[in-house]
Amino acid sequence: MVTHIDLLDIFGFEAFATNRFEQFCINFANEKLQQKFTHDVFKTVQEDLLDLLEAPLGVISLLNEECIRPMGNDLTFCSKLTSTHDVHPRLDKQKARLSASHFALKHYAGTVMYCVDGFVETNKDALSTEVVSLLATSSNHLVSHVFQDVT
């Protein structure tokens, strides 16, 4: 006999006129929540979008790759994304072709156009100057040697 009912309120998915890296992260988290809910209660219907986001050559992988390239930039990331996944059903090809600095994903709640301006810089995991200074003065010779010229 069932003695309780579970509820999940999924909120926070948004699409603005200009959607940048932070909005991408929020919507990615909401895709994960939506996928968990859908998988547990109904069936896996968002799998293809999550694959597009998380696969070895997915959105996040391509962005991380662009971040470690010496001359990595937002437009190259966007170009690689749209060319690599040109036939993916969750990449809105018509909207993506409107601008070299935008891509559009068909999320569970609708299509969102993302502006890649700042994606690469925002995604970089730069250490704060305080952390670098602290590591440069470490009593561990190897650690201090690695970080002494990083500032």
The answer on pLDDT for 126 being more than 90 is no
Task: Output the pLDDT for position 9.
Answer: 57
97 is a domain residue: yes
89 is a domain residue: yes
Hey, what are 25's tokens? 């992260």
Confidence of residue 1 (pLDDT cuts 50, 70, 90): confident
31 is a domain residue: yes
In DSSP notation, 29-78 reads: HHHHHHHHHHHHHS---SHHHHHHHHSTTSHHHHHHHHHHSTT--HHHHH
The answer on pLDDT for 39 being more than 80 is no
145 is a domain residue: no
For residue 50, the domain's CATH number is 1.20.58.530
Q: Residue 53's domain spans which residues?
A: 21-124
Maximum separation of any 2 CA atoms in the chain, in Å: 66
- pTM exceeding the 0.85 threshold for the entire prediction: no
65 is a domain residue: yes
12 is a domain residue: no
pLDDT greater at residue 114 or residue 33: 114
115 vs 129: CA distance, rounded Å: 29
Task: Output the pLDDT for position 7.
Answer: 59
pLDDT greater at residue 19 or residue 108: 19
Q: CB-based burial of residue 31 (10 Å sphere; 0-12 exposed, 13-18 middle, 19+ buried)?
A: buried
| SS3 (DSSP) at 111 | strand
* CA–centroid distance for 40 within its chain: 24
86 is a domain residue: yes
User: pLDDT tens digits for 79-110?
Assistant: 999 999 989 999 998 877 778 999 999 998 89
How many domains does one find in the chain?
Answer: 1
Find where tokens 């201090």 sit: 144
